[in-house]
Amino acid sequence: MERITIATPILNGNEKKYVDECIDTGWISANGRFISEFEKKFAEFCGTKYALACCNGTVTLHLALLALGVGPGDEVIMPTLTYIATANAVTYCGATPVFVDSEPDTWNLDADKLEEKITSKTKVIIPVHLYGLPCNMDKIMSIARKHNLAVVEDAAEAHGAAWNGKVVGSMGDIGSFSFFGNKIITSGEGGMLTTNDEKLYERMKLLRSQGVDPHKRYWHTTVAYNYRMTNLQAAVGLAQLENVQWHLAQRKRVAALYEKYLPMLGDLVSTQAVPAQANHVYWMNSVILSESVKLSRDEVMAQMEAHNIEMRPLFYPMHIMPPYKDDSVHAPVAESVSSRGINLPSHGKLTEEQVRYIVESLKEILEQEA
């Protein structure tokens, strides 16, 4: 079978038409109709008043924290099991990331362990909707409001996911999204901020564009950043957003195929649990290897490569990596899940034959070493 990749973009809408319009009209940089239209439609998609397009998902986190006044001496609580951009954005502000362990079944931030991490220095909580599964936002928001803390939803991997019917990016003070090439919808690179707070929106908009006064050209009111999205990126993003329900349906279809075939592995693997309140959008389908499997996670992935199947490890916990290494962090669930976790190919082009081949190949490898 030809190589099966972990992810691949699907550009089957108006992407080329809109990009051609950018080129034909010359509107290729940070001005043009596609930027404002993408923002408007994405806000509608999330059910928020405002959306702000940026050049990537990492800078959206940075802008969100800056708008909330995060700076040196502040602490920001987040899961240790996440992509490093979440922690890096906090560090850019001069603040300190504080790491929380995961729930054993969902792998998301364990909200029951939040309050023990809150100090007088805590300013923001960043829940990460890991691999497309929303966190328990009811509990997180209740704790945040009790302690007068802001919440920034890291929804980079979770376009369209929902908790109790509320779309991610609409429940916290600010939502942050990524449109990197492997995401559910993409603009190549790109990100988006969502909020219902006009003051936060205006502050983020100011900081995104070099602090230029909106009423006086080339007059800059503060030190700021060039975090703007180009019209070219927005053209691709808007075309993708027009087809977002189709993209989400393909993710559900692939997840259903894994649900059909993974039982053939028995108790050799476990999967991410989905609470009844959650609408999982399956950016990644993942498995955790049983402790009965003698091969290491990396050895399993290497053998799958021999079957022409690309896989990738779950994220490493922040507190074990060099920039944030902290032996005092107690996160046994995140460490265990990470060390034995594998992301399976999950993109919307996968066929039933390919999913069956992936699972059968994994079964062959695991059974001979169990």
Give the domain CATH number at 270: 3.90.1150.10
CATH number for 138: 3.40.640.10
How many Cβ atoms are within 10 Å of 305's Cβ, its own excluded?
12
* CA gap 153, 179 in Å, rounded: 15
Of 215, 243, 271, at which residue does a domain stop? 243
- Assess whether 256 and 214 both reside in one domain: no
- Assess whether 186 and 267 both reside in one domain: no
* CA gap 92, 76 in Å, rounded: 12
Q: What is the pLDDT along the chain (370 residues), one digit of tens a residue?
A: 899 999 999 999 999 999 999 999 999 999 999 999 999 999 999 999 999 999 999 999 999 999 999 999 999 999 999 999 999 999 999 999 999 999 999 999 999 999 999 999 999 999 999 999 999 999 999 999 999 999 999 999 999 999 999 999 999 999 999 999 999 999 999 999 999 999 999 999 999 999 999 999 999 999 999 999 999 999 999 999 999 999 999 999 999 999 999 999 999 999 999 999 999 999 999 999 999 999 999 999 999 999 999 999 999 999 999 999 999 999 999 999 999 999 999 999 999 999 999 999 999 999 985 5
Please compute, for residue 212, the number of CA atoms within 13 A of its CA located in the half-sphere on the CB side.
11
Q: So what's the pLDDT on residue 1?
A: 80
* CA gap 130, 96 in Å, rounded: 21
Q: Where are the alpha helices (DSSP H) in the chain?
A: 15-25, 33-46, 57-67, 84-92, 137-146, 198-208, 231-242, 244-261, 297-306, 332-340, 352-369
In a domain, 237, yes or no: yes
Q: In whole angstroms, how large is the CA radius of gyration of the chain?
A: 21
- Assess whether 156 and 206 both reside in one domain: yes
* CA gap 366, 295 in Å, rounded: 8
Task: Report the alpha-carbon angle 75-76-77, nearest 5.
Answer: 120
- Assess whether 199 and 57 both reside in one domain: yes
Amino acid type, 341: G
* 107 conformational bin, left if phi > 0, alpha if psi -120 to 50, beta if neither: left
Residue 264 lies in domain: 245-369
Q: So what's the pLDDT on residue 370?
A: 57
Q: Give the strand order in the sheet containing 166-167.
A: 166-167, 162-163, 278-279
- What is the SS3 string spanning 15-68? HHHHHHHHHHHCCCCCCCHHHHHHHHHHHHHHCCCEEEEECCHHHHHHHHHHHC
Angle between the N-to-C axes of helices 244-261 and 352-369, in degrees from 0 to 180, rounded to the nearest 10: 40
In a domain, 6, yes or no: no
Q: Name which of 56, 290, 68 is nearest 179 in CA terms.
A: 56
* CA gap 141, 171 in Å, rounded: 8
Residue 80 burial (C-beta neighbours within 10 Å; 0-12, 13-18, 19+): buried
Q: How many domains does the chain have?
A: 2
Q: So what's the pLDDT on residue 369?
A: 59
User: Model confidence over 75-126: pLDDT tens digits?
Assistant: 999 999 999 999 999 999 999 999 999 999 999 999 999 999 999 999 999 9
- Assess whether 238 and 290 both reside in one domain: no
* 233 token code pair: 């990126």
- Assess whether 144 and 220 both reside in one domain: yes
- Assess whether 231 and 308 both reside in one domain: no
- Assess whether 288 and 227 both reside in one domain: no
- Assess whether 145 and 122 both reside in one domain: yes
- Assess whether 126 and 267 both reside in one domain: no
Task: Report the alpha-carbon angle 216-217-222, nearest 5.
Answer: 75
- Assess whether 184 and 309 both reside in one domain: no
Amino acid type, 223: V
Q: Give the strand order in the sheet containing 269-271.
A: 269-271, 285-289, 341-344, 312-313
Q: What is the pTM of this model?
A: 0.97
* CA gap 216, 239 in Å, rounded: 33
In a domain, 5, yes or no: no
Contact 313, 297 (CB under 8 A): yes
Q: So what's the pLDDT on residue 110?
A: 98
* CA gap 343, 364 in Å, rounded: 18
Amino acid type, 315: F
User: Model confidence over 230-282: pLDDT tens digits?
Assistant: 999 999 999 999 999 999 999 999 999 999 999 999 999 999 999 999 999 99
- Assess whether 319 and 202 both reside in one domain: no
